[in-house]
Amino acid sequence: MKLFLLSTTLILLPITTSIALSKPPLASIAQVPPNPVSAPPAPPWTQAVNLSAEQKERIAAIHKQAKQEVDKLHQELFAADNQMRSLLESNASIEQLRQQYQQIQQLRQQLANTHFEAMLAERQVLTNEQLTQVLRILRQQRSTNNSQK
């Protein structure tokens, strides 16, 4: 289970977005073709797996949506962290500090949820054989990275 979670987390490293609570899950956008001009680069593992043109488009769309969401959440988190620093340097009440901390924790959770939902959406695009290939590639990358430390 730990290996699975670690492997799937690596799928998400190039993705940096989140799902707003009012928006549909990223899996629902898997059918939307990407705008090739403004789409961010696809995750590196997509080059090593034999994807069809449709799969490439769907993964690019998922990746693009996730990146937009993550970027938005990172901006919100940055602002919330700055607000926390200001509160800590002021005479803010304990309750104000707790509320700000709670907001930061919620943003972090949204960020994690976005990464997870994007990973699930990407998995739905892959065949079982392709998923096995991706997990093998990610394990190899992880062992290479661990041996360089």
pTM of the entire structure? 0.66
Q: Measured between alpha carbons, how far is 8 from 122 in angstroms, rounded to an integer?
A: 10
pLDDT tens digits, the chain, 149 residues: what are they? 444 443 444 344 333 333 333 333 333 333 333 344 455 677 778 888 889 999 999 999 999 999 999 999 999 999 999 999 999 999 999 999 999 999 999 999 999 999 999 999 999 999 999 999 999 988 988 888 888 87
Q: Fill in the DSSP letter of residue 49.
A: S
CATH 1.10.3470 fits 53-149, yes or no: no
